[in-house]
């Protein structure tokens, strides 16, 4: 599990770590030097060499600029031709500046010859976790030229202009190919708009680990998700593996029921029971499922329910949903069930058993307040208000529990933006919840597996939702196998 630490948590850890470092009689500024060495190492790995390489370092007036100057000094000492552009010349980090000059680097002001048009590498040390709002005009102009120039762009700690805590971008910001972040991955690098600005994220360990408060937000890895996908034990039978109940689809629209039931079967369920008016379609597609045309109570015993995809929102649908929510079982509330729950939040509020709501942005908005630029914060608010786990779908799906624990999904592909993929996610989630594992982490595991399946299916070209169902067993196999995973776009 990768912890996502806010700027305040990192700063508090930095203070504690610096005290330790001083006690150990190491040089002052040791954390910054570790950061800069890590940063230079990532750049060298990417460039393959330093000698003769043209580097432009954009330097703000804080410690982020200090990191960039020390890294520039490393590269200059190895033969790179480094130009530092000081955005706030009177406040540039003095020791970093001296180091760069000693190593043979050039220094100029914001108007000076910056070499951006010919740079092989641009380091963004304008602003890090101390940033507020969008970039100021001089910084924004340089960032824009750098982003469209020929050089490899690398952000120091955080892409300048991105809110490190939320990923919000409120004005100009610097989109980069790589972000080298220090001490801990910040949430803003992996969620919201910030995710797109950060490119590949590299985490440099500067020794903050023991000093960091336990993070409230996390990213799961394949290894974490493998724990949710263990093969059956010799003593298992179809009931002990988790029985999923599905209420979805309709006679006119059986597709959602077919996708949802298929995803539950293909994920790991020992048994899937379907109750509803799309029974014929489900029987035809999945002879393995046990189908009733009656009410949920007629379906037989289950350990978790999935309710919503394609079920409609009329009085009958409402009474089926109410019946499922009145049980003491975990319930996934998706699609049409979300519309009904938004009209009548009392249906989900106050349940003792876990409830997982799975809205996309438009469904989320029906609960009263739209998703804002802080997607984790938005999901946390709704989760606390309803006392339910909220899985907010999107490019980086977010899961939040009522106590504020959150997860940001690291897998997926934009090819998932096609009809029915949400029905598949609901089925996967039902299958995993039926084993009784804690709801929020289980929801995050489902999003992870769904995203990985999308990536696998997209290797062959554009995908449709049924491809996900077909590729699920192979994905489960791959996730179970150690060493085949890792984050899609992060080396954290
Ligand atoms: N502390 C440590 O031990 C370690 C810290 N480390 C590093 O320090 C970084 C944090 O440094 P920090 O606290 O100095 O803040 P920082 O991110 O440089 O920003 C302040 C500067 O930005 C400016 N500025 C603000 N908003 C702006 C905007 N919108 N557009 C333009 N400019 C803007 C602001 O100007 P001001 O508002 O003061 O006029 C000020 O000049 C952290 O990210 C990591 O890289 C590592 O070395 C590890 C050890
Ligand atoms: N641009 C995107 N990048 C990554 N994943 C996406 C993107 N767009 C949608 N998805 C994923 O695809 C799924 C779509 O679900 P949903 O909107 O409920 O579709 P449907 O209702 O058609 O089944 C979600 O899991 C969502 O996270
Ligand atoms: K930066």
Show the DSSP H helices in 2-60 as ranges: 7-23, 30-47
The reply to whether ligand 2 has any atom less than 6 angstroms from the CB of 425 is yes
CA distance 226 to 440: 16
Give the Å distance between the CA of 7 and the centre of ligand 3. Answer: 13
Whether 401 contacts 212, CB under 8 Å: no
Give the Å distance between the CA of 76 and the centre of ligand 1. Answer: 23
* Local structure of residue 229 (DSSP, 8 states): S
Q: Which CATH superfamily is domain 222-480 in?
A: Ribokinase (3.40.1190.20)
Burial class (CB in 10 A: 0-12, 13-18, 19+), 283: middle
Residue 489 has pLDDT above 60, yes or no: no
Atom number of ligand 1 nearest to Cα 206: 48
Query: pLDDT tens across 258-282, in order?
Result: 999 999 999 987 899 999 999 999 9
Q: Is 112 annotated as a binding residue?
A: no
476, containing H or E segment:
helix 465-480
ipTM over 0.90: yes
Residue 307 has pLDDT above 60, yes or no: yes
Residue 314 sits at φ, ψ, to 5 deg, of -80, -175
Signed CA dihedral, 10, 11, 16, 21: sign only: positive
* Residue whose CB lies within 8 A of the most ligand 1 atoms, among 14, 64, 140, for a mutation test: 64
Residue 354 has pLDDT above 60, yes or no: yes
Question: What residue's CA is closest to ligand 1, atom 16?
Answer: 130
Better-scored residue on pLDDT, 350 or 78: 78
pLDDT at res. 485: 46
Judged by DSSP in three states, 396 sits in coil
Atom number of ligand 2 nearest to Cα 419: 22
Residue 208 sits at φ, ψ, to 5 deg, of -80, -20
Structure tokens that stand for 49 in this block? 């060499």
Q: Assign 487 a pLDDT band (cuts: 50, 70, 90).
A: very low
Residue 110 has pLDDT above 70, yes or no: yes
Whether 122 contacts 133, CB under 8 Å: no
Atom number of ligand 1 nearest to Cα 158: 43
User: Do strands 81-86 and 243-247 pair parallel, antiparallel, or not at all (unpaired)?
Assistant: unpaired
pLDDT at res. 26: 54
Structure tokens that stand for 228 in this block? 């949710």
* Ligand nearest, relative to CA of residue 160: 3
Give the Å distance between the CA of 61 and the centre of ligand 1. Answer: 7
pLDDT at res. 301: 95
Query: pLDDT tens across 182-197, in order?
Result: 999 999 999 999 999 9
Q: Which residues line ligand 1 (CB under 6 A)?
A: 14, 18, 31-32, 35, 60-65, 67, 88, 91, 126-136, 139, 156-158, 182, 206
Structure tokens that stand for 281 in this block? 């379609």
Q: Assign 488 a pLDDT band (cuts: 50, 70, 90).
A: very low
Whether 326 contacts 295, CB under 8 Å: no
The reply to whether ligand 2 has any atom less than 6 angstroms from the CB of 419 is yes
pLDDT at res. 28: 54
Enumerate the domain spans of the chain. 2-215, 222-480
Q: Is 157 annotated as a binding residue?
A: yes
Calculate mean pLDDT across residues 156-171: 98
CA distance 156 to 174: 11
Calculate mean pLDDT across residues 300-314: 97
Q: Is 396 annotated as a binding residue?
A: yes
Residue 400 has pLDDT above 70, yes or no: yes
Looking at the structure, give the CATH architecture of the domain made up of residues 2-215.
3-Layer(aba) Sandwich (3.40)
Question: What residue's CA is closest to ligand 2, atom 8?
Answer: 417
Instruction: Give the sheet arrangement for strand 178-182, strand by strand.
Output: 106-108, 81-86, 54-59, 121-125, 152-156, 178-182, 200-204
The average confidence (pLDDT) of the chain is 95
- CB-side neighbour CA atoms (13 Å) of 486: 10
Q: Is 412 annotated as a binding residue?
A: no
CA distance 247 to 426: 11
pLDDT at res. 252: 85
Give the Å distance between the CA of 66 and the centre of ligand 1. Answer: 9
* Residue whose CB lies within 8 A of the most ligand 2 atoms, among 422, 427, 458, for a mutation test: 422
pLDDT at res. 481: 85
Q: Is 334 annotated as a binding residue?
A: no
Calculate mean pLDDT across residues 40-52: 97
Q: Is 11 annotated as a binding residue?
A: no
Q: Is 423 annotated as a binding residue?
A: yes
Query: pLDDT tens across 407-422, in order?
Result: 999 999 999 999 999 9
Say which range, 209-213, 340-344, 371-375, 387-391, has the weakest mean pLDDT: 209-213
């Amino acid at each position: 599990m990768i912890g996502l630490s806010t700027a305040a948590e990192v700063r508090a850890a930095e203070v504690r770590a610096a005290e330790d470092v001083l006690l150990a009689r190491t040089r002052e500024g040791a954390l910054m030097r570790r950061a800069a060495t890590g940063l230079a190492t990532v750049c060298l790995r990417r460039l393959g060499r330093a000698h003769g390489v043209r580097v432009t370092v954009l330097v703000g007036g804080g410690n982020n600029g200090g990191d960039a100057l020390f890294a520039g000094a490393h590269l200059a000492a190895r033969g790179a031709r480094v130009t530092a552009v000081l955005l706030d010349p009177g406040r540039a980090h003095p020791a970093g500046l001296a180091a760069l000059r000693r190593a043979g680097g050039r220094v100029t002001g914001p108007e000076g010859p910056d070499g951006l048009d010919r740079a092989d590498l641009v380091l963004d040390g304008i602003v890090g976790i101390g940033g507020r709002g969008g970039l100021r005009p001089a910084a924004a102009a340089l960032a824009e030229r750098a982003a469209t120039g020929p050089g490899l762009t690398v952000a120091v700690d955080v892409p300048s202009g991105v809110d490190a805590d939320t990923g919000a971008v409120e004005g100009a910001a610097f989109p980069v190919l790589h972000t080298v972040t220090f001490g801990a991955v910040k949430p803003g690098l992996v969620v919201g708009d910030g995710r797109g600005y950060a490119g590949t994220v590299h985490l440099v360990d500067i020794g903050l680990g023991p000093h960091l408060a336990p993070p409230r937000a996390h990213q799961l890895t394949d290894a974490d998700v493998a724990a949710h996908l263990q093969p059956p034990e010799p003593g298992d039978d179809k009931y002990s593996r988790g029985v999923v109940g599905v209420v979805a689809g309709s006679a006119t629209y059986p597709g959602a029921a077919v996708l949802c039931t298929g995803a539950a079967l293909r994920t790991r369920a020992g048994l899937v029971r379907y109750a509803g008016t799309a029974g014929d379609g489900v029987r035809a597609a999945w002879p393995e499922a046990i189908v009733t045309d009656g009410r949920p109570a007629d379906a037989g015993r289950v350990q978790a329910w999935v309710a919503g995809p394609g079920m409609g929102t009329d009085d009958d649908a409402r009474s089926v949903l109410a019946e499922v929510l009145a049980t003491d079982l975990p319930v996934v509330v998706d699609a049409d069930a979300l519309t009904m729950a938004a009209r009548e939040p009392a249906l989900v509020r106050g349940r003792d058993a876990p409830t997982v709501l799975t809205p996309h942005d438009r469904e989320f908005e029906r609960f009263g307040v739209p998703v804002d630029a802080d997607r984790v914060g938005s999901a946390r608010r709704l989760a606390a208000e309803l006392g339910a786990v909220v899985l907010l779908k999107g490019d980086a799906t977010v899961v939040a529990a009522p106590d504020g624990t959150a997860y940001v999904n690291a897998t997926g592909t934009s090819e998932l933006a096609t009809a029915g993929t949400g029905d598949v996610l609901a089925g996967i989630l039902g299958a995993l919840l039926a084993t009784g594992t804690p709801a929020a982490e289980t929801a995050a595991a489902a999003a992870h597996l769904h995203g990985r399946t999308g990536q696998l299916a997209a290797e062959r070209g554009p995908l449709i939702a049924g491809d996900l169902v077909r590729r699920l067993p192979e994905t489960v196999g791959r996730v179970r196998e150690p060493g085949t995973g890792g984050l899609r776009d992060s080396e954290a």
